[in-house]
Structure 1
Amino acid sequence: MADAGMRGGLLSLMFVIIAFWALLTATDLRAQTQVNSSPPPIDGPAILVPTDFDQVRFYLITVDVGDSVWDNFGHTALRLVDDSTNTDLVFNWGLFDASIGNVRFAANFARGIMDYQLGVTPPGWELGRYQQEARTVWQDQLVLSNTQKQRLYERLAWNIRDENLVYEYDYFFDNCTTRVRDYLDEALGGLLSEQNRALTRSTFRDEVQAHYASRPLISFSLDVLMNERIDRRMTQWEQMFLPLELREQLDRAGLLTDQQVLMEFPSPEAGVDPYQMAGLLVIPGLLLLLCLRSASIASFSSQPGLSLRMPALSYRLLGLLGLVIALFSGVYGLIMSLGWLFSSHQDIHGNLNLLLFWPTDLFGVVVALRWLLTGRAWPVGSGRHQWVMTYFIIHIMAALVYLVIAIFGLSDQRVSDLLLFVLPVLAVFTVLVMTAGLSRVRSIRFG
């Protein structure tokens, strides 16, 4: 199992992005709230342990990944069937209450306050959700002895007590799937954990990127905001936080039988590669470099230097490019900085990417809008011009440090994609701003 420092940090980081997404997709959030906060009541007393476990069957319910922010890792539940009492219930550890409102709910997401709970529902209601969401569902009977069934039954009976319903959710180490994994391992006397100690080839970062492939913006953002602590390889046991991986490992262990596909839908298609899209921004930058020309003195108020040909078009293109870069760089830098200053989770501290993305870059939005609206360089006085140039020189120095750290492997954080696709864009943009983006104004003194 991972060290305690890993626990919760990435969850908070992921939910920072998800929280912003939630605010932009309030309709989706309300739909999720209705699904997860109001399951139908189950009549009858608390679960009583049966005397004849020959009549009891447990089924693993595995749900494929969905196409929304909330379900990109899939879902796992347990189905309990007791023929002696005509009991048929689904135990689902993926319920949360969003009735407090979108803003507060999103804020709790960002802070990592995630109180999930166990819900027990009829299979018709539970499976109906996935029918509406167009998600494939597999049902596999678990191969357990009567003794193992009793252990699992008793654990569920304990979990359904009011004081045990709520738990502190963690994306990797304590979620709807790991609850099933852990309870099965307990029923099997630790056999499952014992057989899955080997390291896999995947890291936590790999799984995040793979499972958010249908959400390129989320995938890209999480990759920027996660530090080196999630770049270690997982064990097979840890990898079973993924529903499909848990199902595969249980099948390999011979613990599944009577396998059924209850409903089948196509999986979400992967979106465009976010890094390739980011890398394409270098094209307008290179085109603008070709537009550089010497600038003659148009009046006594300006200094000679470089400008762009066809300024009405080229500076507006520079404005669009600058708007995208300033927004993304500034927002990412702000999230990483605030997380480092105010969060106790180590996974968002000391992110190497802070050398590239600064919260102060948000001020560039104003300059970019000026280029976009006026179609000409930003006129600045000599004093301000020096400050701006110093800012960019420090930015360049930080980027060079970033490059050295990455090339010589001085950090365990994986930044190869940023190095290949994003750093060239930032470099070209910086050259454009320093050469043609500013027009230094000469002071005129009389007397």
Structure 2
Amino acid sequence: MNKIFLAFTVTFLLFFSGVVQALNLSDEAEISLLTCGPSKQVHALYGHSAIRVHDPIRMVDIVFNYGVFSFSEPNFVYRFAKGQTDYLLAAEKYENFLESYRRSQRRIEEQVLNLTQAKKQQLLDYLIWNAKPENREYRYNFFMDNCATRVRDVVEKHVDGELVFPEEAGLEMSFREHVDEYQRILPWINFGIHLTLGSPADENATAYQEMFLPDFLRNHFARAQIQGEGVSKPLVKETRMIYDPAKSVKSDFNLLSPVYVLSILLALVILVSYKQYKRKQFRLWVDYVLLFITGLIGLVLLWFVAYSEHPAMHPNYNLWWAVPANFLFPFLWMVRRWRPALKWYWKALSVWLLLFLLFSLLIPQAFPVGFYLLTGMVLCRALLHSFLLLNASHSAN
């Protein structure tokens, strides 16, 4: 949700804080929400939110950023998967922030907040305190605690009254549906993320919860009202487009997307299986590949369910079709003398996958089309083995 910082910008903050801590903002000071558009980089798919403090009289122009992290941290990928990623609040010069987003051709929109002078000062003081080394870290949670929700919470605590977000402004979409809108530009990444997201991701997000996405934070800020002592005023007093790159129109059609690729593979699996059934001869490499892939997926998902601290990872009903035992079975089936004792697995797998297809609509989790296509491939092979074993049994009788 942010650009990658290869070096901590906290150095700048520490240099700057000696001045800022003693600074009283002038009447010309503005505090704004900056909303940055998404990009095709995985970590920036959903856009970014930050807070700008601009005081032309005091020559202050800083961006406070809750999205700082580094891929170079030890065991970053493992910690991220396990849900133990720590993000930081840091500050940088506005001109540096602006230039980095211009280089990556990402939109920047500014909403100037309608705060009293006292609240502006309190908010700045809080941000400086929060950015100190002993206070700056927080445990990242994609849906509930990220760069956008942190901004929402900070602003909510520093308004002169109660900040009211109209609930009817929500789209009544699930968390999964929300992120899917952004992930579609990278179809295989989208496919993988949907694999790891469990049933909690299919709960509807309220208008308040939608603000985990920067664009929705911007939209709800635009509708929010500050209410206090019988008076109501808008949270945002002015909106400015800082940078708006030209948009390229692209079609969603992609022959290499999971749906098209897996549809072709399913058709080939059905064709090959039909020919092998007619000839009563078949090659096992198709079975080994399909069982290995779906079994490996199942093992990875099982790890997420058992060990990841991400609350949206479990329970995950993809384990119904991505059976972890499929990973081990091909290695056992390679031993010919074990096959008579293992042939029941094909029948059990057929029944299990048929039950999934029959009852998947009743499961409290959404399954993209690609998951059904993978299930269809494995089911086709399991049914082929079951029918051949059944025919062999009848022939023996």
Mark yes or no: TM-score above 0.5: yes
Give distance in 1, aligned partners of 2:43 and 2:249.
13
1:193 and 1:237 in contact (8 A); partners too:
no
- The alignment-based identity, stated in percent, is 24
In structure 2, the residue matched to 1:15 is: none
In structure 1, the residue matched to 2:198 is: 227
1:397 CA drift (Å): 2.4
In structure 2, the residue matched to 1:328 is: 293
- Structure 1 segment 158-307 matched on structure 2, within 5 A: 158-189=129-160, 191-196=162-167, 200-253=171-224, 254=234, 255-266=236-247, 272=254, 273-292=257-276, 295=279, 306-307=280-281
In structure 2, the residue matched to 1:338 is: 303
1:164 CA drift (Å): 1.3
Give distance in 2, aligned partners of 1:267 and 1:168.
36
In structure 2, the residue matched to 1:303 is: none
In structure 1, the residue matched to 2:28 is: 55
Closer, same or farther in 2 for the Cα pair 1:100/1:158, shift >3 Å? closer
In structure 2, the residue matched to 1:312 is: none
SS where residue 27 of structure 2 aligns?
helix
In structure 1, the residue matched to 2:383 is: 431
1:241 CA drift (Å): 1.0
1:328 CA drift (Å): 3.3
Give distance in 1, aligned partners of 2:133 and 2:122.
20
2:82 and 2:304 in contact (8 A); partners too:
no
1:111 CA drift (Å): 1.6
1:225 and 1:332 in contact (8 A); partners too:
no
Closer, same or farther in 2 for the Cα pair 1:54/1:208, shift >3 Å? same
Return 5+ residue gaps in structure 2 as ranges. Answer: 225-233, 393-397
In structure 1, the residue matched to 2:343 is: 389
Give distance in 2, aligned partners of 1:58 and 1:267.
32
In structure 2, the residue matched to 1:107 is: 78
1:340 CA drift (Å): 3.2
Give distance in 2, aligned partners of 1:177 and 1:294.
59
Closer, same or farther in 2 for the Cα pair 1:190/1:365, shift >3 Å? farther
Closer, same or farther in 2 for the Cα pair 1:114/1:197, shift >3 Å? farther
TM-score normalized with structure 1 length? 0.73
SS where residue 343 of structure 2 aligns?
helix
2:165 and 2:220 in contact (8 A); partners too:
no
Give distance in 2, aligned partners of 1:213 and 1:433.
37
2:82 and 2:307 in contact (8 A); partners too:
no
Bigger Cα displacement from structure 2, 358-367 vs 198-207: 358-367
State the Cα deviation string for residues 61-119 of structure 1 (Å, max 9, x = none): 11111111111111011111112311111111111133335xx1111112211111111
In structure 2, the residue matched to 1:78 is: 51
Q: Which amino acid aligns with 1:397?
A: V
TM-score normalized with structure 2 length? 0.82
In structure 1, the residue matched to 2:227 is: none
Bigger Cα displacement from structure 2, 181-190 vs 270-279: 270-279
In structure 2, the residue matched to 1:21 is: none
State the Cα deviation string for residues 35-78 of structure 1 (Å, max 9, x = none): x6457624330633654541211222111111111111110111
1:61 and 1:138 in contact (8 A); partners too:
yes
1:432 CA drift (Å): 4.0
Return 5+ residue gaps in structure 1 as ranges. Answer: 1-30, 296-305, 309-314, 368-377, 441-447
1:81 and 1:89 in contact (8 A); partners too:
yes
In structure 2, the residue matched to 1:3 is: none
1:261 CA drift (Å): 3.3
SS where residue 73 of structure 1 aligns?
coil
Give distance in 1, aligned partners of 2:109 and 2:90.
19
Give distance in 1, aligned partners of 2:315 and 2:151.
34
